[in-house]
Chain A
Amino acid sequence: MVKEVQIVKTGIKIPLAKPKVGVAGKTGFWRITRPIVNYDKCNKCFLCEIYCPVNVIRVEPDRGPTIDYDYCKGCGVCVDVCPSNALELIEEE
């Protein structure tokens, strides 16, 4: 519904950050759960990518999500927001 918006930058300091993969280091051994993808169910809606708080999910339009387990914390937000139940949280071995 946004009709028209111009980004006019003035260089003011604003409380904005660009999430970068892995700024807090690799997750390591402490993760107790991990999300796994059922690609047959995925409808490529991108919600998991948008909602991932550590920005480690990339959704390819033809394939679906790829999760970077080096940095994934196993929080399960992606599983909660997935409308087609294509994500499942499993326990780490």
Chain B
Amino acid sequence: MGKLVALTGNYAVAYAAKYAKVDVVAAYPITPQTSIVEKLAELIESGELDAIMIRVESEHSALAATFGAAIAGARAFTATSSQGLLYMHEFVHWVSRARIPAVMAIVTRALAPPWNIWPDHSDYMDQRDAGWIMGFAMDNQEVFDLTLQAFKISEDPRVYLPVMVGLEGFILGHTTMPVELPDQEIVDQWLGPRRQEYVIDGREPLALGNLAWPEDTEEMFMEIQKAMNNAKKVIKEVDEEYGKLFGRKYGGLIQCINCEDAKYFAVSMGAWTGDLIEAINKLREDGYPIGVIRIRFCRPFPYEDIWEKVQNAKGIIVFDRSISYGAWGPLFSDLITGLYHYTNKLPTMSNIVAGIGGVNITYNDFARMLTNFVETIEKGEKPPVFTWYHKR
């Protein structure tokens, strides 16, 4: 049986890495991530975690060192945020294209300028074409569970891709919530030893990243796309197994709340979905038939899973906490193109971009946006396809 403790989101990440018995942690401090690696340093120092902490001079080196350790066969981990993540972006691609399993936590934070340490999803979503599996948690328990699951998913031979775990800075990162920690022995049995396609450990000379012909290069990247598709199945399997062993499962790539009888759907990702669920619980009392689809993984994108839920929807509203300037919110863009594969009669779809730069969106804000959306459609009118919800 596990034990219940009070942890911040950042500590939940650190404890998940400890339960995964990581061999190597390489990190550089950045707000709001720092307390993850501080906690890991503490656990290593006290002997609770048998691992090496590599202190590096930048985030670019942090991921490079994590990558190097992982190639050599270590279960390796790092964490970062915002500018740090942008700085390591080159290596974000190296890890996935080399097909090396690794786990990295992204404690999300707005991008500069202006300087801003509040949470949105801009830094995290900036990585979405990098070939990493991208999960995002809603509360601290899920932060722990998702980070632990990330190791299992990443090291599955059908996948062999690195996994990013997203959590909002401060809202989860520095907020204390009850978290149930599992039994270490069961985790060990379930997770097993690290697996990977190859190691470079000096025993035979191997070179990574030589020049390759265009056709060979393309074939390697086609394998990443295949692995992403396999990952959809693996993520669901891992979630099921985890549920059986530890009593918590989330629904795989998405979590659906109040979806059974819903005519309208709100799609969202991350901690603010908690406020969205609050708003919908309140609106349900007033007779609004709205369900919430929470995206747990945005890469691979859960097109099929969402389509299953929204086949009879009258309207879908997508909340994005980042924006692709000149286009729309990335979750909305992905969803609308994906659904078009299944139907040429899409339900009314609307995109709200909000909470950028850490602007606080309360459940009252969500309730206002949702009632507006539903009532506009019920009146027979079309809501705008894109709205940047801003308040002061």
Residues of A whose CB lies within 8 Å of any CB of B are: 1-10, 12-19, 50, 55
Contact = CB atoms under 8 A, between A and B. Distances in A.
Contact of A13 (B194, B196, B219): B219
A54 to B, nearest CB: 10
B202 A10 contact: no
B208 A19 contact: no
B67 to A, nearest CB: 13
Interface string B197-241: 111011011111110100010011001000100000000000000
B158 interface: yes
Nearest to B159: A10
Contacts, number: 84
B23 A18 contact: no
A50 B52 CA distance: 23
A2 B194 CA distance: 9
B208 A6 contact: no
A4 B223 CA distance: 26
12 contacts: A1-B52, A1-B74, A2-B201, A4-B193, A5-B74, A5-B194, A7-B196, A8-B157, A8-B197, A15-B97, A16-B198, A18-B205
A8 B196 contact: yes
B16 to A, nearest CB: 17
Interface string B11-54: 00000000001011000000000000000000000000011100
A8 B209 CA distance: 21
Given A13-B216, A13-B223, A5 B206 contact: no
Given A2-B73, A13-B223, 7 more contacts: A1-B52, A1-B74, A3-B75, A5-B73, A7-B197, A7-B198, A17-B208
B99 interface: yes
A10 B197 contact: yes
Given A15-B98, A18-B205, A7 B199 contact: yes
A6 B198 CA distance: 9
Contact of B202 (A5, A7, A15, A50): A50
Interface of B: 21, 23-24, 50-52, 72-75, 97-99, 157-158, 160, 193-199, 201-202, 204-210, 212, 216, 219-220, 223, 227
A4 B194 contact: yes
A26 B212 CA distance: 22
Contacts of A12: 99, 160, 197, 223, 227
Given A1-B24, A12-B160, A6 B193 contact: yes
A3 B194 CA distance: 9
Most chain B CB within a 10 A radius of its CB, from A7, A9, A13 = A13
Contacts of B194: 2-6
A2 B72 contact: yes
Contacts of B212: 15
Contact of B23 (A3, A9, A10): A3
Contacts of B197: 7-10, 12, 14
Given A12-B223, A14-B98, A2 B206 contact: no
Contacts of B220: 13-15
A75 to B, nearest CB: 16
5 nearest A-B pairs in the assembled complex, by CB-CB distance: A5-B73, A4-B193, A17-B210, A8-B195, A17-B207
Contact of A10 (B50, B160, B205): B160
Given A5-B194, A6-B195, A8-B157, A14 B207 contact: no
A7 B52 CA distance: 22
Contacts of A14: 98-99, 197-198, 220
A9 B195 CA distance: 9
Contacts of A10: 157-158, 160, 197
B219 A55 contact: no
Contacts of A1: 23-24, 50-52, 74
Contact of B74 (A2, A6, A9, A17): A2
A16 B208 CA distance: 5
Nearest to A6: B195
Contacts of B204: 18
A1 B24 CA distance: 8
Nearest to B72: A2
A85 B147 CA distance: 47
A10 to B, nearest CB: 5
Contacts of B72: 2
Nearest to A3: B23
A50 B24 CA distance: 22
